[in-house]
Amino acid sequence: MTQRLILASNNAGKLKEFSELLGPIGFELHTQGEFNVPEAEEPFATFVENALAKARHASRLTGLPALADDSGVCVNALGGAPGVYSARYAGEPKSDARNNEKVIADLAAHADKSAYYYCVLVYVRHADDPQPVIADGAWHGEIIAQPRGSNGFGYDPYFLLPSLGKTAAELSPQEKNAISHRGQALRALVAKLT
């Protein structure tokens, strides 16, 4: 028997990625948009609080279990910025190009270019679930000044994986999912749910 699960996102890529791992363990994923759920506010300074707020919001408005993620890139020399503000680092409206320009500019005076992508996933059985299931993952690399690759999105063309000699944007979707922060968090979540 399958259990319907609301993904607190309207991202088709995330829906596909999550469905591939959660489908085999009995979940049928739907985006919140299919239920006319508006995006939740993300007012918090931590990934876990934002993901929990999004999951509770989607569950409250649909009456179904929900899954939310919050993720971003954290640059060590910038004190962890852009962090939870990754999508809007250069302000509104959201722009990957402007966000990347700002990170490169902010990092120019620093020798340390190390960074990591971080993802938190939160699963709630119902809106007031007192024991949400939480999983996370981190993917370490460094920021480079010149973009490379055409896959991925966001900071991927500037996120170099020194051990592979490639940026995240130079990996195929399958390669990326096997090692990324979101892939790690999703596998950890599946392990907890099974």
Using the structure block, give the residue that is written with the tokens 């996370």.
Answer: 136
- The pLDDT of residue 13 is 77
DSSP secondary structure letter of residue 147: -
CB 118 within 8 A of CB 136: yes
pTM: 0.92
User: What range defines the domain where residue 156 resides?
Assistant: 3-193
CATH number reported for the structural domain that contains residue 63 in this entry: 3.90.950.10
- The pLDDT of residue 30 is 96
158-162's contacts with Cβ under 8 Å and 24+ in sequence apart are: 158/100, 158/103, 158/104, 159/73, 159/115, 159/117
- The pLDDT of residue 137 is 98
Q: Report the candidate in 8, 143, 122 with the shortest Cα–Cα distance to residue 73.
A: 143
- Active-site residues, by number, are 70
- Above pLDDT 90, what percent of the chain? 86
Q: Tell me, what amino acid is at 49?
A: E
For helices 12-22 and 181-193, angle between their N-to-C axes, nearest 10 degrees: 40
- Give me the number of domains the chain comprises: 1
Q: ω into residue 65 within 30 of 0, thus cis?
A: no
pLDDT in tens, 10-34: 888 788 888 988 999 999 999 999 9
